[in-house]
Amino acid sequence: MTTSPRPPRHVVVLAHPQVDAGRDEAARVAAFLRARGVHVRVGLLNDPWVPDYVCTQRPDLVIALGGDGTMLRAGHLAAPCGVPVLGINLGRFGFLIEVQRDAWPQALERLLQGDYRLERRMMLQVNLHRGEQVLGPWEVVNEAVVCRGRAVRPVRLSAYVDDLLLARYVADGLIIATPTGSTAYALAAGGPILPPELRNILLVPVAPHLSVDRAVVLAEGSSVRVVPHVDHEVVLSIDGQEPEPLQEGDVIHIRAGEHSLLFVRFQGPEYFYQLLTAYMRSHPLVQKLAT
């Protein structure tokens, strides 16, 4: 296994504010590390001091306790600053977290011995052009989604790749995802599963109606432009965050981001397929077919 240059000596431990027992577990993790000589700052993901501290103090590691949503929020904080993230799972099944709640002491012992590797995940950068104004940029770990709002009506979207028209969609929405996001909303919408080490951009329509219904996998260097035709509520959502209402004439630009998200891993790359197998076995449809 590839080891890191040095064991971490400065760590930020963050819990999701709405995850049960998150604060208590974060305190236990912090105490474990402090007893071994590590400088630790502990808090919640939404604490006001966190964004500035992570980027100015540049800790060796952020440890995030929660579920996949916690990992997304931690990734948004840490990736632009080049700080790796280690997840400890306090939620349900997740593709992003390797360490389970009852296994973190053993994982942290390995961490402090430098017995881990860093897995680099591609991110996207999204800008919203509204006339002369540019909103963003947003950093994307999983996906950007252009979709309908409260009205149960399909939206009309035009998607361009490298300034060439790829498709016109009539659908509930269009997902623009990273390989990390291929196991999130894109998977639920019928898209392909991409191994996390790939660096591709994935386009997946949601419930397309009389339009292109196939996912498209693009090269990392591709530039994507999405033009919504707004005659009712249409929104842009980044990694499931609060949606941005769109207006007629808005144009969304998506490309590979300048930053990568670094995950701490203790297993080899095969861990992803083990997770995938476990997920497929736990899926209700698979369980029904097996009975």
DSSP 128-175: EEETTEEEEEEEESSEEEEEE-SS---EEEEEEETTEEEEEEEESEEE
pLDDT of the residue at 48: 96
State the pLDDT confidence band at 14, using cuts at 50, 70 and 90: very high
pLDDT of the residue at 1: 42
Average of pLDDT values for 152-168? 95
> What would the two tokens of residue 25 be?
């577990």
Which of residues 173 and 94 earns the better pLDDT score? 173
CATH code 3.40.50.10330 for 10-116+266-290:
yes
Query: Which of 227, 234, 236 is CA-nearest to residue 169?
Result: 227
What residues act catalytically? 68
- Model confidence over 127-139: pLDDT tens digits? 999 999 999 999 9
Least confident of 115-129, 190-204, 267-281: 267-281
Beta strand pairing call for 164-171 and 173-177:
unpaired
Q: Is the pLDDT of residue 5 over 80?
A: no
Span(s) in the chain for CATH 2.60.200.30 = 123-258
pLDDT of the residue at 283: 55
Question: What SS3 class is residue 21?
Answer: coil
Q: Are 152 and 176 in contact (CB under 8 A)?
A: no
Superfamily (CATH H level) for 123-258: Probable inorganic polyphosphate/atp-NAD kinase; domain 2 (2.60.200.30)
Q: Is the pLDDT of residue 288 over 50?
A: no
Span(s) in the chain for CATH 3.40.50.10330 = 10-116+266-290
Average of pLDDT values for 263-287? 74
pLDDT of the residue at 291: 43
Proportion of the chain above pLDDT 90, given as a percent: 76
Q: Are 9 and 38 in contact (CB under 8 A)?
A: yes
pLDDT of the residue at 130: 95
- Model confidence over 232-266: pLDDT tens digits? 899 999 999 999 999 999 999 999 999 999 999 99
Query: Which of 65, 116, 72 is CA-nearest to residue 91?
Result: 65
Average of pLDDT values for 89-104? 85
State the pLDDT confidence band at 282, using cuts at 50, 70 and 90: low
116 C-beta neighbours (distance < 10 Å), count = 25
Question: What SS3 class is residue 95?
Answer: coil
- Model confidence over 25-71: pLDDT tens digits? 999 999 999 999 999 999 999 999 999 999 999 999 999 999 999 99
pLDDT of the residue at 58: 95
pLDDT of the residue at 19: 81
- Model confidence over 173-188: pLDDT tens digits? 999 999 999 999 999 9
Displacement of CA 104 from its chain's centroid (Å) = 22
Distance (Å, rounded) from C-alpha 17 to C-alpha 128? 30
State the pLDDT confidence band at 2, using cuts at 50, 70 and 90: very low
Torsional sign, CA 157, 207, 198, 112: positive
> What would the two tokens of residue 260 be?
């990568």
